[in-house]
């Protein structure tokens, strides 16, 4: 099949969404599909306000439509709700093409963390529902996210799991933090306010704290917590060695929909300590893999007592091949939608009509 993937999250961004999409595209190509990725790295971009690491595509709807039409895709998947996602969606609705979408991030909560305006979160979810509900299927990472979005009026939801490469992420003997006081507590991810890293740094526990990653909050946290080791971004084998050197992986986020890096830590033999919230409750489903507690210090202390080999065994349940299979099974022919345009009703549901404005 000829599959078009429209995504605003792509390299050089470093995050779980990009890793998931990259591995899925590789899996689709291995299975014999032709995949065209409509991504911001191929067009002019501008930095996202308050988040310069994320680049927003500066393209016109006409340019996006020409690229889609030239490829003549059998299936269309719109992965993100950024400029490329909205323009690909517009093309599909205008030309009566069926498409699938995916929900990766809790942008409304992330937005409110930066701009605490009353009612903003509700309005943001109205916009996201309008974006996703025309899709034939909207993929979400866990059953918990599925239930929450269904309660918010999102329709046609299907779970799309995540995986981990256990050949790359595996226990390493080398200790990249030689000389640091044990235990070594490590947190990895985007250094931004929605990741709640400060909760980890404020936890009163003995040992050394390490933060792997970069982001808009890095400068402030480095200044306020001089005893914490900040490594910057690490990827691939370098990240695997770094994770393996920790005694416990701390995941303080309360807004992630999954938290792929937790699987990567577990595959390296490192138990997880996290809050019992969306994301961790669907990933850490075995007491042998990690500890979830409203008191992060308690979770860290108990996770340190877990057997590292059990963590490795747990991570091996998560296969990227299975992730690709789920994605393939969710795709629909672009020609499935009836000719004509689709109009939203007040609830954000869509029907196909012969006339009317593009939604």
Q: Any idea what the Cα angle at residue 77 is, between residues 73 and 83, rounded to 5°?
A: 105
Q: Using an 8 Å Cβ cutoff, are 258 and 279 in contact?
A: yes
Classify residue 205: in a domain, yes or no: yes
Predicted confidence (pLDDT) per residue in 246-264, tens digit: 999 999 999 999 999 999 9
Considering the domain architecture, whether residues 39 and 74 belong to the same structural domain is answered as yes
Considering the domain architecture, whether residues 327 and 310 belong to the same structural domain is answered as no
Nearest Cα residue to 213 out of 174, 251, 257: 251
Considering the domain architecture, whether residues 258 and 195 belong to the same structural domain is answered as yes
Res. 112 pLDDT band, cuts 50 70 90: confident
Average pLDDT on 131-142 reads 97
Considering the domain architecture, whether residues 215 and 131 belong to the same structural domain is answered as no
Q: Using an 8 Å Cβ cutoff, are 251 and 232 in contact?
A: no
Domain that residue 257 falls in: 184-315
Residue with tokens 């990895």: 188
3-state secondary structure 264-329: HHHHCCCCEEECCCCCHHHHCCCCCCEEECCCHHHHHHHHCCCCHHHHHHHHCCCCHHHHHHHHHH
Considering the domain architecture, whether residues 151 and 269 belong to the same structural domain is answered as no
Considering the domain architecture, whether residues 275 and 244 belong to the same structural domain is answered as yes
End-to-end Cα distance, the chain: 28
Q: Using an 8 Å Cβ cutoff, are 189 and 331 in contact?
A: no
Q: Using an 8 Å Cβ cutoff, are 104 and 80 in contact?
A: yes
DSSP 2: E
Classify residue 308: in a domain, yes or no: yes
Considering the domain architecture, whether residues 237 and 88 belong to the same structural domain is answered as no
Residue-level pLDDT at 354: 36
Look at residue 347 and tell me whether its pLDDT is greater than 50: no
Residue with tokens 């990240």: 239
pTM of the predicted structure, to 2 decimals: 0.88
Two structure tokens written together for 176 = 């990249």
Two structure tokens written together for 322 = 């299975």
Considering the domain architecture, whether residues 23 and 60 belong to the same structural domain is answered as yes
Handedness of CA 69, 75, 81, 82 (dihedral sign): negative
Rg (CA), the chain: 21
Residue-level pLDDT at 73: 98
CATH number of 144's domain: 3.40.50.2000
Two structure tokens written together for 249 = 């992986």
Residue with tokens 């990933």: 283
Considering the domain architecture, whether residues 12 and 157 belong to the same structural domain is answered as yes
Q: Using an 8 Å Cβ cutoff, are 243 and 249 in contact?
A: yes
326 alpha-carbon distance from chain centroid: 16
Classify residue 19: in a domain, yes or no: yes
50 against 14, higher pLDDT: 14
Residue-level pLDDT at 53: 73
Residue-level pLDDT at 54: 76
Helices (H), the chain: 16-30, 61-71, 83-95, 107-114, 120-132, 143-151, 197-201, 218-224, 236-244, 260-267, 280-283, 296-303, 308-315, 320-330
Residue with tokens 């009612």: 119
Count of domains for the chain:
2
Considering the domain architecture, whether residues 157 and 193 belong to the same structural domain is answered as no
Q: What is the mean pLDDT of the chain?
A: 91
Considering the domain architecture, whether residues 142 and 235 belong to the same structural domain is answered as no
Residue-level pLDDT at 337: 61
Classify residue 297: in a domain, yes or no: yes
Considering the domain architecture, whether residues 81 and 99 belong to the same structural domain is answered as yes
d(C-alpha 103, C-alpha 22), whole Å: 16
d(C-alpha 331, C-alpha 266), whole Å: 30
To which H or E segment does residue 111 belong? helix 107-114
Classify residue 358: in a domain, yes or no: no
Average pLDDT on 323-334 reads 97
Res. 50 pLDDT band, cuts 50 70 90: low
Helix (H, G, I), strand (E, B) or coil at 342: strand
């Amino acid at each position: 099949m000829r599959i078009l993937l429209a995504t605003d999250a792509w390299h050089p961004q470093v995050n779980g969404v990009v890793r998931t999409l990259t591995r899925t595209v590789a899996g689709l190509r291995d299975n014999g599909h032709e995949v065209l990725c409509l991504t911001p790295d191929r067009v002019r971009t501008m930095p996202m306000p308050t988040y310069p690491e994320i680049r927003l595509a500066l393209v016109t709807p006409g340019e996006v439509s020409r690229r889609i039409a030239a490829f003549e895709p059998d299936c269309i998947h719109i992965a993100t709700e950024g400029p490329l996602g909205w323009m690909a969606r517009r093309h599909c609705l205008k030309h009566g093409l069926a498409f699938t979408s995916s929900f990766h991030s809790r942008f409304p909560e992330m937005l409110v963390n930066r701009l605490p305006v009353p009612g903003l979160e509700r309005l943001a979810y109205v916009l996201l529902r309008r974006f996703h509900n025309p899709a034939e299927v909207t993929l979400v990472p866990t059953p918990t996210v599925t239930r929450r979005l269904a309660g918010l009026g999102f329709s046609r939801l299907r779970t799309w799991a995540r995986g981990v490469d256990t050949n790359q992420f595996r226990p390493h003997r080398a200790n990249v933090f030689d000389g640091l006081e044990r235990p070594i507590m490590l947190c990895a991810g985007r250094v931004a306010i929605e990741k709640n890293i400060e909760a980890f740094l404020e936890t009163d526990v003995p040992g050394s704290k390490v933060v792997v990653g970069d982001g808009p909050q890095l400068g402030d946290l480095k200044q306020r917590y001089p005893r914490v080791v900040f490594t910057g971004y690490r990827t691939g084998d370098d990240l695997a060695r770094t994770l393996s050197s920790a005694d416990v992986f701390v995941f303080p986020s309360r807004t992630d929909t999954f938290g792929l890096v937790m699987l990567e830590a577990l595959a390296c033999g490192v138990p997880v300590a996290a809050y019992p919230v969306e994301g961790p409750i669907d990933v850490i489903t075995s007491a042998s893999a990690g500890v979830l507690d409203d008191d992060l210090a308690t979770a860290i202390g108990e996770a340190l007592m877990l057997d590292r080999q059990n963590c490795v065994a747990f991570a091996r349940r998560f296969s990227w091949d299975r992730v690709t299979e789920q994605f393939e099974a969710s795709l629909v022919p672009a020609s499935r939608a009836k000719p004509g345009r689709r109009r939203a009703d007040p609830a954000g549901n869509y029907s196909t009509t012969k006339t009317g404005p593009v939604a």
